[in-house]
Amino acid sequence: MKTLMIGAAALALSVGATHAQELTLQLKWVTQAQFAGYYVALDKGFYEEEGLDVTILAGGPDIAPTQVLAGGGADVIVEWMPAALAAREKGLPLVNIAQPFKQSGMMLTCLKESGIADPTTDFAGKTLGVWFSGNEYPFLSWMSTLGLSTEGGPDGVTVLKQGFNVDPLLQKQAACISTMTYNEYGQVLDAGISPDDLVTFKYEDQGVATLEDGLYVLESTLEDSAKVTDLVRFVRASMKGWEYTRENPEEAAEIVLENDETGAQTLEHQVRMATEIAKLTEGSNGTLDEADYQRTVDILMAGGSDPVISKAPEGAFTTMITDRAFD
């Protein structure tokens, strides 16, 4: 730690800084390995080396990152692109500055006994558990591409507003529920259900995956050259944290636990999560792939009479930060 502090001090002097620049990051959800890269960057001194004093704010069911950003409670947020683009169309000028997650971890997990084997033929008439608070957008787009109403009936699906747990599947209130590869699917297995008794449909495999955990700021932040410099340093240090997480998932999980004030997480679960998350960040240095962005936009606009967004966004992302961070 002493060596890191000396290195940080030397860097600060070299760029003419008199003190570390403060920056606040608002997470999309609670403290867990989904955000390990940021906690690792903080713990390992990667932010400090960049002359930054970073505060990480945990999220939760009653915290909307976009609202926190709009209210000035954070400088940067972690958000899914569907929610970010929907908020932008409604008037909040969000801009994606980096995309650590290359792949989607979202899927529907179904009980095999429900008889569902093919989404194109077997979802109709079934009850499906769906997360809301912005997480419903990819699901609604998927149902639209399948031509299924979400109003119920034999030719549509009944949407069960799912809490952030797996109870509807365990209690057989729904044939399928929303799960993440790195979290809730493991909870289903921990509850005693065998993988042989489940059928899963990954959004990636169905061709309806949208970009998930990205870093977003307000347009006005990008108009301030000093803040842009801070963001360049922040993204560079964060991606260093993600690289360290991929190489050291067990240590990363331990760091996450050290930052979990609730005490609700377990090491075993966080190691599993960190290992699965590594698959989603693989191949990304933080730079947004424009093809991935366009795929997300196309999926969100493919909603027939009720699309998630009604027109192609303009100015919704920039590579200026990652270009400077990794040139």
Beta-carbon contacts of residue 72 (< 8 Å; ≥ 6 apart): none
Query: DSSP of 116-158, one letter per residue?
Result: ---HHHHSTT-EEEE--TTTTHHHHHHHHHTT-BSB-STTB-E
Q: Is there a contact between 241 and 103 (Cβ–Cβ < 8 Å)?
A: no
Residue closest to 25 by CA, chosen among 214, 222, 199, 255: 214
Residue intervals of the chain classified under CATH 3.40.190.10 are 2-103+211-325, 106-206
Q: 106-206 has which CATH code? A: 3.40.190.10
Q: Which amino acid is at 323?
A: D
User: How far apart are the C-alpha atoms of 130 and 282, rounded to whole Å?
Assistant: 27
Q: Tokens 């077997």 correspond to what residue?
A: 122
Statement: 2-103+211-325 belongs to CATH 1.10.238.10: no
| Tokens at 198, concatenated | 């489940």
Residue closest to 119 by CA, chosen among 96, 145, 93: 145
Helices and strands counted in the chain (H then E): 15, 10
Total number of residues shown for the chain: 327
Strands 176-180 and 52-57: unpaired
pTM of the model: 0.89
Type and span of the H or E element at 190: helix 184-190
- Answer left, alpha or beta for residue 242, where phi above 0 means left and psi between -120 and 50 means alpha: alpha
Q: Which amino acid is at 294?
A: Q
Q: Which residue(s) pair with 54 in the sheet?
A: 23
Per-residue pLDDT tens digits of the chain, which is 327 residues long: 434 444 444 444 444 445 789 999 999 999 999 999 999 999 999 999 999 999 999 999 889 999 999 999 999 999 999 999 999 999 999 999 999 999 999 999 999 999 999 999 999 999 999 988 777 888 988 898 899 999 998 989 999 999 889 999 999 999 999 999 999 999 999 999 999 999 999 999 998 899 999 999 999 999 999 999 999 999 999 999 999 999 999 999 999 999 998 888 899 999 999 999 999 999 999 999 999 999 999 988 886 657 789 999 999 999 999 999 998
Q: What angle do CA 29, 235, 313 make, to 5 degrees?
A: 75
Q: Is 25 helix (H, G, I), strand (E, B) or coil?
A: strand
Treating both helix axes as pointing N-terminal to C-terminal, what angle do 249-259 and 36-43 enclose, rounded to 10 degrees?
80
Q: Is 22 helix (H, G, I), strand (E, B) or coil?
A: strand
Query: DSSP of 74-123, one letter per residue?
Result: -SEEEE-HHHHHHHHHTT--EEEEE----S--EEEEEEGGGT---HHHHS
List, for residues 30-48, the tens digit of each pLDDT value.
Answer: 999 999 999 999 999 999 9
Query: DSSP of 209-265, one letter per residue?
Result: ----SEEEEEGGGGG-HHHHHHHHHHHHHHHHHHHHHHH-HHHHHHHHHHH-TT---
User: How far apart are the C-alpha atoms of 139 and 146, rounded to whole Å?
Assistant: 11
**Cα dihedral value 229, 231, 232, 236, nearest 10:** 140
| Tokens at 209, concatenated | 């995956």
Q: Which pLDDT value is given to residue 304?
A: 62
